Structure 1
């Protein structure tokens, strides 16, 4: 939700011992033993050569790099501490936060000091296959059944939060369940280990440095002790999985015990989620969205939050809510947006601005859709989408990035060539397909990648 290495690289210039320019005289003399003088001369020559070789190795090698742990400690004291001190962090807090902390080299997206980030290898990842893989019934049902059970057990608290913030309790329960399994998920990492490692050597050092400073501020202000700062591998905290900056902005004390505790307090957790959504513009009284059918005559390239129309206008164009249900009367004059996360190969939706508020929690159309769908099922029972997800995908992320670059070269706005098929990429695909005599599907496939090369 919500971001700094000394150049030590001479790697690649060091000549391995087997490649050193050994004189051919050694090989030529190896069989000669014409008297002791010759043999002694050969020994002296070999010894002298060995000394020269060792000297060359030392000269060619870079200055011995300090162990990574030592570099990390030096960075903490010489780089991070001066900034922390300037921002009001006490030495006591700083030392307590990093006592015994070493860089965790098993974390993803790290770049060793003095090295450049490597181009990632091709990888198959589920989110680049059919979006339907994100909505397995087992995963969705774990959230919805767990949400209904906790809805009854926490009815009074949820009602009070709804009254104060205007966010439906079902939505809060869906986020709580998705983020941490209603608090059951273990947070095995030390937040200062994670954030410190990533601020020191991640691909997004500036982002994690900001979060690390926020975590120090959190402890300095007495909002949580160092020992409670357990996080995910990305540094997200507590049951709602807030980054430290989000904690400082949005965590609230709803149970009245004097501090916002998103690790142990259910009221604080749920109210903090509600406060977060309100901060990003949650509109009280509006739905998140509706599954719809989209006639073939309506282009899938009309998708996106910048192409809104009144919901009544979408209805006049022939877009209908599934199961012959009408759109709520209160929604007809309000703005809605077309969402087709799999293009023509999956369910379609008319979503409201609240959908894009959900997306602020995790910048993924599929995440926001999962939460909206999960909330509906908590409220109304376990009915799945009316339309099925097609067997699309099977592409590498690098394939999609190549496709995006090709579209950019032709003047299309794909957002960024990051290998993620977001709405700008999907609708650009649809526009290119329509302009080249193809049926507009608005989703990447192998034939399209080939055609655009």
Structure 2
């Protein structure tokens, strides 16, 4: 779970989580306080953010029991790119059309993809996570399995608070510390969140302008190519073995055509366009795509192939 990769929001913590041995947590917090103070974070913020926190058993439970991916691509696709999510996405697109056009004018990123990622990450802002981010990150940094990673994220969260972008009480997110509408980890927030409306705060929790523009900035900084698609659903030639596929090689559309590839409906591939590589969903029963460079950009936001393809399919449907 790299720092630059948002994490989907988790359910609100369970009220009946089991008791946890917190030996050493206060010593751990004292070290965090000292390091953050030396980095310039004010004592007032440190007291407000760290003064009353304790390890969260539910966070550790979710971290240790992340479900393995068992859905086929078709099950995942139909569940994620559902008629309800498409309908809600169309509504979100229409309600925010003027804002999205302004964001597109600045970042040259497709509004449809911005809305699709918004829908995938937090269901258009309706499920941004119910955990106190500082408390969740402190729990994971103290627990130790990935202490270095989560300590960096914890320190970044304290710097964000000290800069006044959000209050400690409002800094809510997933069990892993991913925050706001875009589900940015704190280090990603520091690098890529933007103050789109110019009010002096980068507010990805309650300000849709900042939140959606931050998604666009993320994609733009990752190499989004304006005016290009993300993939073409394709029909392979005879003899194609989906289990022995080369997903690394890039070829021109003309080359794919010469190899016998067509669009899924049997029509010819485009005569020109960017180079493409095969994009095969995980546990697919046959659906395959020719992935364009923008698919790789989407997957820099969240790396699983099925996530990237689902974002693209949702984007095609919401506008």
What TM-score results when the alignment is normalised by the length of structure 1? 0.62
Contact 1:293 1:320 (8 Å CA) reproduced: yes
Alignment of 1:44-193 (within 5 A): 68-77=21-30, 79-108=31-60, 125=68, 127-137=69-79, 139-193=81-135
Indicate yes or no: 2:269 matched with 1:317.
no
Alignment of 1:190-269 (within 5 A): 190-269=132-211
Between the aligned partners of 2:83 and 2:62, the Cα distance in structure 1 is 35
**SS of the residue 1:128 aligns to:** coil
2:28 aligned with 1:2, yes or no? no
1:91 Cα deviation from its structure 2 partner: 2.1
Asked if the contact 1:170/1:378 (under 8 Å) is kept, the reply is: yes
CA distance in 2, matches of 1:75, 1:342: 40
Q: Indicate how the Cα distance of structure 1 residues 277 and 316 shifts in structure 2: closer, same or farther if over 3 A, else same.
A: same
Rounded Cα–Cα distance in structure 2 between residues aligned with 1:362 and 1:272: 15
Using the TM superposition, give the Cα deviation of residue 139 of structure 1 relative to its aligned residue in structure 2, in angstroms. 5.0
Asked whether the 8 Å contact 2:128–2:172 carries over to 1, the reply is no
1:287 aligns with 2:207: no
Q: How far has the Cα of 1:299 moved from its partner? A: 4.8
Any runs of at least 4 consecutive aligned residues in structure 1 with deviations exceeding 4 A, and if so which? none
Where do 5+ consecutive residues of structure 2 fail to align?
Answer: 4-19
Distance 1:360 1:146 in 2: 25
Q: Is the 8 A contact 1:110 1:203 kept in 2?
A: no
With 343-352 and 277-286 compared, the bigger mean Cα shift is at: 343-352
Provide the C-alpha distance between the structure 2 equivalents of 1:298 and 1:139, rounded to a whole number of angstroms.
27
Structure 1 residues 329 and 270: CA distance shift in structure 2, 3 A: farther
- Distance apart, 1:232 and its partner CA: 0.9
Q: Shift of the alpha carbon at 1:343?
A: 6.5
- Asked if 2 retains the 8 angstrom alpha-carbon contact of 1:290 and 1:349, the reply is yes
Q: Within 2, Cα distance between the matches of 1:284 and 1:97?
A: 41
Counterpart of 1:340 (choices 269, 280, 290) is: 280
Residue 372, structure 1, aligned to residue 312, structure 2: yes
**Could you give the per-residue CA deviations for residues 299-353 of structure 1, whole angstroms, max 9, x where no partner exists?**
543432x31111221121011111244444551xx21010122467220000111
- Unpaired runs of at least 5, structure 1: 4-66, 112-119, 380-453
Match of 2:289 in 1: 349
Report SS of the residue matched to 1:377: helix
- 1:251 and 1:213 map into 2 onto residues whose CA distance is 17
Q: Distance in 2 between matches of 1:218 and 1:80?
A: 15
Q: Residues 12-31 of structure 1: matches in 2 within 5 Å?
A: none
Distance (whole Å) between structure 1 residues aligned to residue 253 and residue 270 of structure 2: 10
Residue 185 and residue 172 in structure 1: after superposition, are their counterparts in 2 closer, same or farther (change >3 A)? same
Is contact 1:303–1:339 with CA below 8 Å preserved after alignment? no
What is the distance in 2 between the residues matched to 1:245 and 1:109? 24
Partner SS for 2:232: strand
> 1:138-179 CA deviation, whole Å, 9 max, x = no partner?
753232111111211111111111111111111011111111
Kindly indicate whether the alpha-carbon contact (under 8 Å) linking 2:154 and 2:186 is maintained by their aligned counterparts in 1.
yes
Measure how far apart 1:74 and its partner are. Answer: 1.2
Q: Partner of 2:212: helix, strand, or coil?
A: helix
- Matches of 2:129 and 2:279, distance apart in 1: 34
3-state secondary structure, aligned to 1:146: helix
Q: TM-score, normalised by structure 2?
A: 0.87
Name the larger-Rg structure: 1
SS in 2 for 1:309: coil
SS in 2 for 1:291: strand
